[in-house]
Chain A
Amino acid sequence: MAQITLSKLAHSYLPSPTTSDDFALKEIDHIWADGEAYALLGPSGCGKTTLLNIISGLLEPSRGSILFNGNDVTHAATAERNIAQVFQFPVVYDTMSVRDNLAFPLKNRGADVGYIARRVDQIAKMIGMEETLDRKARGLTADAKQKISLGRGMVREDVNAILFDEPLTVIDPHMKWALRTQLKSLHREFGHTMIYVTHDQTEALTFADKVVVMFDGRVVQIGTPQELFETPEHTFVGYFIGSPGMNVIPAQVDGAAAYVHGEKINLGRVYHGLNGKIEIGIRPEFASLSNKGGLPVSIKRVEDVGRHRIVRAETMDNELNIVVPEGMPVDADMTNVTFDPKHVNVYADDWRVRGEAA
């Protein structure tokens, strides 16, 4: 297992890049801790696969270097990096038994027969395939094959890191729960450094200790799920994390108050001398319908998603989403919306301004 250092790393697919727009991965400078689980999350084209390919050695970066435990591996081939990889689609040897599939990486390295047997049993138990160990992989369902791929990715204890590239895409929603919790248990038990690429926020948030949110070739925030939810550092993080995403409303901010078309909104912190495009961000979970106080609101539509409802509304010419918990009424006399001041964030040119304690 290894600490991974990304030192002034950047990549362009062009031969002689000049402007920052030419870079598919803009400069990133981070140290990822040994034994932690990271998720790379972002929309298609955000650079997450480019970054993963640099870490795995499929791609040589145009600039900067990558270090495993302080050793420069920037120019080392994938095979020399001592990593395990799990891909979007299952990679299994159909003619081999499940047992031999799982044992393959260990046999390849000449591990002791007794150790292989013990380790394969342990992994089989973890992925719930003890019963099928002696079956041929051919004819197993896609779910089962992907479980074998995951198990094989985890079988070696001495890898520097395990890289996952959208590993649960082909799996049914119900099975996803089971596999994700198994992965999480495996991580807790073995303490591998894990890097998990996905465009699915639930997968990223539930799997990772730290989520790396990428947008337009840039890392916009690295944080715990709670940090991404409560204090998105960029309006993109507010939009991308959460369903629906954060409400963003243009406002004027002065001290501990924001004004939207002259209507006052109390803030939890104090802000001075802001410049640029000023907006406030409020998660739909921190907005509440009421019959007095706050901003006037008109309700357009109510969507019932079972455990809560999403109210699509409009306030002062802005679209606004409000999450209403199950069992709480949405009445016609609810003409106003209030925000929890602690959870109103302030943004200048899309980046969060920290402000001072009130």
Chain B
Amino acid sequence: MTLELKDVSKVVAGQTHIYPTNLTLEKGTMNVLLGPTSSGKTSLMRLMAGLDKPATGHVFWNGADVTGVRVQDREVAMVYQQFINYPSMSVYDNIASPMRIGGNRAAEIDKAVRKAADLMKLTPMLDRKPLELSGGQQQRCALARALVKNAGLVLLDEPLANLDYKLREELRIEIPKIFEEAGSIFVYATTEPEEALLLGGNTATLWEGRVTQFGPTPIIYRRPVDATTARVFSDPPMNFLNISKVGQEITFGDGQICPATGPLSALDDGTYMAGFRPNHVELEKNTADAIQFHGAIAVTEITGSETFVHLDHHDDRWVGVVHGVRDLKIGSRIPIYLDPTHIYVFGDAGDLVAAASYAEAA
């Protein structure tokens, strides 16, 4: 079972929503579409489902061209951010509805509904109406309906976005388990990097209508092909600064000069953009060749276990995530440290020149 997009694009009223895209999704895989609002996640899903016809390109299902085939005639189930259930039907009838339309036997339907309800922890609520349920239960009802449909392609468009934080945490763990068992192709759209990491599987990062990279989720996180992908896949955002290399010396934006160590030593002479993740900012010198910067503290945020330090380094605003509760004075200048093995180097066009060496090892 495969879903293949070949040069698929979408243009609405002269505006390109999706640039020509190639993607191949395999049976039994979880595929995350990660990108900010209006980056094209929903547009891409609608093309996959057959809800929209592509401007160019073709969609193949198991090798057969299904580009013009209506969504009703495809094996597709979709779950949206807004909980969509039939309000006048019981939870049982809601879950059963796709199977009834499919003309299945009553005994078969009953078995499938009860199994899906059990997985989604809805068994005690089967006789209730959707509006008598909490938001989390309503969305679980919509998920159960997608599950019994036994579709080859299941599209989940930010299904947890409207739920409480803790419910999201629980369903995030359950969803991959449930869907692994079902063996379909899953596509899951989210704006949150952490959600992508927790779901695992593969990730396609999206930015302004383009898939910037597709592959196993941890690899996309550790080896982004360009600065855009790194930015999309970082929360808080990745920190950037301009650097230039001459001989065995690196000059950082403001004229600070350091010996080129780690991945920096192999660079050709020239100018680059360096990127590093907030969790790699250290307030104490932890390795011998750590690079020291000075920043002025703009704001600190304390979560109880961690402190988010927002600081101004010349014209750049950086953020660091450090362990524990730190009492730092707003406006004061502090030294921060960066292990050179944590630096990503991007070229002028944003392409990755050297991945952080820690990521190569991982």
Q: Which residues of B contact A307 (CB under 8 A)?
A: 277, 279, 321
Answer whether residue A43 sits at the interface, using C-beta atoms and an 8 A cutoff.
yes
Pair A306/B193 contact, Cβ less than 8 Å? yes
A244 to B192, CA, bound (A): 17
Complexed CA–CA distance, A206 and B301 (Å): 5
**Most A-side CB within 10 Å, residue of B37, B221, B310:** B37
CB distance from A350 to the nearest CB of B (A): 17
Is A205 an interface position by the 8 A CB rule?
A: yes
Say yes or no: A43 contacts B164, CB within 8 Å: yes
Bitwise, B156-195 to A at CB < 8 A (1) or not (0) is: 0000000011110100000000000000000000011110
**Contact of B304 (CB < 8 Å), options: A172, A181, A230, A304:** A230
User: In the bound complex, do residue A199 and residue B305 qualify as a contact, i.e. CB atoms below 8 Å apart?
Assistant: no
Interfacial chain A residues near B308, Cβ < 8 Å: 206
Interface bracket on A: 35 or more
Q: Are A172 and B36 in contact (CB under 8 A)?
A: yes
Interface residues of A in 216-261 (CB under 8 A from B): 224-230, 239-245
List residues of chain B with CB within 8 A of the CB of A72.
none
Residue pair B235, A174 in contact (C-beta under 8 Å): yes
A74 at the interface (CB under 8 A from B): no
Asked if residues A283 and B305 are in contact (CB atoms below 8 Å), the reply is: yes
Q: Which of B169, B299, B310, B321 contacts A244 (CB 8 A)?
A: B169
CA distance A96 to B194 in the complex (A): 39
A177 at the interface (CB under 8 A from B): yes
Asked if B301 and A180 sit within 8 Å, CB to CB, the answer is yes
A306 x B197 contact (CB < 8 A): yes
Tell me the residues in window 216-247 of chain B with beta carbons closer than 8 Å to chain A beta carbons. 218, 221, 235-237
B336 interface hit (Cβ, 8 Å): no
Report Cα–Cα, A306/B192, bound state, in Å.
13
A174 in contact with B36 (CB, 8 Å): yes
Contacts of A207 in B (CB 8 A): 301
List 14 A-B residue pairs with CB atoms under 8 Å apart, sorted by A's residue number: A44-B134, A44-B135, A44-B164, A172-B36, A172-B191, A185-B298, A205-B303, A224-B302, A225-B325, A227-B304, A230-B304, A240-B166, A245-B166, A304-B200
Mark A residues whose CB is within 8 Å of B: 43-45, 172-174, 177, 180-181, 184-185, 188, 199-202, 205-207, 224-230, 239-245, 283, 285, 303-307, 326-327
Chain B: residues with CB nearer than 8 A to chain A? 36-37, 134-135, 164-167, 169, 191-194, 197-198, 200, 218, 221, 235-237, 277, 279, 298-299, 301-305, 308, 310, 319, 321, 325, 330, 358
